């Protein structure tokens, strides 16, 4: 008896995670992607597995489950990763109040967090600007993967281990019930999952227009330190990141910090800038990012955004010996109704999985498992 067939449209991290979840449910899976390899938002990010940014409950648990699946894959494929945790630096009383408040809330829930002082930070981490530094929230959960390497090897892993078949350079131009069209050829399946990020509007434009979804453009940079052995020791964040992640909204001290930032640097909020640094196992330092919201964007980077990111970074870290080696932008969809994802059945047997809002590395594996279980 033949297996039930499933088709996944899109080979970014959501599509790859969905393909894995489907095959583990007994489906025979084929994946279609318009490009020759993953080149969208899935490879244009920090490479952070970032449970600390997820609110308590279902989303935090989803992040931990995704991290578990990532680590199984990375160990099995012998792909290097950096299990370095994160450090959220505080340079003013308002930031420190949030750090201490979040520590109390997280610790009560059993998260692996601590508050560390200036002396501990400067003794254990490299490149931190100690001027006016008060302390930091330290979290042990976070892991860094170079997304370009992690995503690049994932399709071969899924093909070899699960016999998932990939059709690269095969744009899907039509989806109707149990069949898709690609390169004027039709393929049938019992289940179709559309995981094509911001591109799903081309397949179901009318559905797209009715959804509370918009696109986000980010700008990022990558640096190399002059010393090849330089290691910052953790993923580093500043006060702007305390405003960015949903998990920190649990803090009653956040309102005063937001008011301070709105008064002092409102232009950073205008461009959705929050400044972070991650370091992969090659020693490369990824820095970002920004968030502009629209239905479409010009393809060009804004120099002033990169300059703003770097000006804020200099308050956190000494970057005199950093050399920029790359800069880029990326676009991904995000929900405008504060939902954590978009999951809907657009017609019998055809599902859209989308809109996880820039948390693809952190959430996709757990999200896909949950969704496929529902189906």
What average pLDDT does this structure show over 305-320?
Answer: 97
pLDDT over threshold 60, residue 253: yes
Q: How many CB atoms lie within 10 A of CB 213?
A: 21
Q: What is the predicted pLDDT for the residue at 1? A: 35
How far apart are the C-alpha atoms of 97 and 256, rounded to whole Å?
9
Contacts (Cβ under 8 Å, ≥6 apart) of 32? 7, 8, 9, 10, 11, 167, 170, 171, 172, 180, 182, 187
Q: Tell me: pLDDT of 70 over 90.
A: yes
Instruction: Domain 5-44+148-211+338-374: give its CATH architecture.
Output: 3-Layer(bba) Sandwich (3.50)
Q: Are strands 322-335 and 28-32 parallel, antiparallel or unpaired?
A: unpaired
Homologous superfamily assigned to 86-140+213-335: D-Amino Acid Oxidase, subunit A, domain 2 (3.30.9.10)
Peptide bond into 69 cis (omega under 30): no
Average the pLDDT over 28-50 and give the result. 87
Buried b (16+ CB within 10 A) or exposed e, 196-206: bbbbbbebbee
356-367: burial string, b at 16+ Cβ within 10 Å, e else: bbbbbbbbbbbb
Please, which pLDDT band fits residue 22 given cuts at 50, 70 and 90? very high
Task: Output the six-digit token pair for 85.
Answer: 């945790």
Work out the average pLDDT over 233-244. Answer: 96
State the alpha helices, DSSP H only, in the chain. 13-24, 58-77, 93-108, 118-124, 147-162, 205-210, 239-244, 254-264, 266-270, 303-316, 360-374
Is pLDDT at 2 greater than 60 in this prediction? Answer: no
**Band (357; pLDDT cuts 50, 70, 90):** confident
Q: What's the pTM?
A: 0.94
> For 108-152, how does the pLDDT look when each residue is reduced to its tens digit (9 = 90+)?
999 999 999 999 999 999 999 999 999 999 999 999 998 888 888
Name the token pair of 307: 């300059």
pLDDT surpasses 50 at 229: yes
Range in 58-72, 248-262, 306-320, 331-345 with the lowest mean pLDDT: 331-345
Residue 258, Ramachandran bin (φ over 0: left; ψ between -120 and 50: alpha; else beta): alpha
CB atoms near residue 306 (< 10 Å): 18
Quick one: 223 exposed, middle or buried, by C-beta within 10 A (0-12, 13-18, 19+)? buried
Residues carrying CATH 3.50.50.60, the chain: 5-44+148-211+338-374
**Average pLDDT of the segment spanning 300-313:** 96
By DSSP bridging, strand 165-167 and strand 143-144 are unpaired
Mean pLDDT (the chain) is: 94
Residue among 7, 18, 12, 9 nearest 365 (CA): 18
- Please give the share of the chain, as a percent, with pLDDT higher than 90: 84
Work out the average pLDDT over 38-66: 90
Average pLDDT over residues 85-113: 97
CA angle 145/83/116 to nearest 5° reads 130
The half-sphere exposure of 247 on its side-chain side, counting CA atoms within 13 A, is: 24
Give per-residue pLDDT as tens, 185-227: 999 999 999 998 767 788 998 998 899 999 999 999 999 999 9
Cβ-proximal residues to 234 (8 Å cutoff; 6+ apart), any chain: 84, 85, 86, 87, 125, 138, 142
Find where tokens 């910052």 sit.
232
Range name among 30-39, 81-90, 100-109 with the lowest pLDDT average: 30-39
Question: What is the location of CATH 3.30.9.10 in the chain?
Answer: 86-140+213-335
């Amino acid at each position: 008896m033949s297996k039930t067939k499933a088709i996944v449209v899109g080979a970014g991290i959501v599509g790859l995670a969905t393909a894995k979840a489907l095959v583990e449910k007994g489906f025979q899976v084929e994946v279609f992607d318009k490009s020759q390899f993953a080149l969208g938002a899935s490879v244009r990010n920090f490479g952070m597995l970032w449970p600390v940014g997820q609110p308590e409950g279902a989303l935090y648990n989803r992040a931990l489950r995704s991290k578990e699946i990532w680590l199984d894959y990375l160990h099995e494929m012998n792909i290097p990763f950096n299990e370095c945790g994160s450090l959220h630096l505080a340079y003013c009383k308002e930031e420190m109040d949030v750090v201490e408040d979040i520590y109390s809330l997280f610790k009560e829930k059993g998260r692996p967090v601590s508050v560390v002082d200036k002396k501990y930070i400067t003794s254990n981490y490299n490149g931190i600007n100690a001027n006016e530094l008060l302390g930091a929230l330290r979290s042990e959960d976070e892991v860094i993967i170079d997304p370009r390497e992690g995503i690049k090897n994932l399709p071969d892993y899924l093909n070899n281990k699960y016999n998932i078949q990939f059709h690269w350079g095969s744009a899907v131009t039509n989806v109707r019930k149990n069949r898709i069209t690609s390169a004027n050829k039709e393929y049938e399946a019992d289940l179709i999952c559309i995981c094509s990020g911001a591109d799903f509007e081309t397949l179901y434009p009318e559905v797209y227009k009715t959804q509370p979804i918009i696109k986000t453009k980010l700008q990022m940079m990558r640096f190399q330190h002059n010393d090849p052995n330089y290691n910052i020791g953790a993923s580093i964040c500043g006060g702007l990141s305390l405003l960015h992640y949903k998990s920190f909204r649990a803090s009653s001290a956040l309102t005063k910090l937001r008011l301070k930032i709105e008064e002092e640097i409102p232009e950073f909020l205008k461009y959705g800038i929050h400044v972070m640094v991650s370091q992969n196992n090659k020693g490369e330092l990824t820095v970002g990012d920004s968030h502009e919201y629209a239905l479409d964007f010009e393809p060009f980077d804004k120099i002033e955004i990169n300059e703003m990111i770097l000006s804020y970074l200099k308050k956190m870290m000494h970057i005199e010996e950093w050399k920029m080696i790359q800069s880029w932008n990326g676009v991904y969809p995000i929900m405008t109704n504060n939902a954590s994802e978009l999951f809907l059945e657009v017609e019998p047997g055809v599902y859209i999985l989308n809109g996880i809002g820039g948390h693809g590395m952190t959430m996709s594996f757990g999200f896909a498992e949950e969704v496929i279980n529902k189906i």
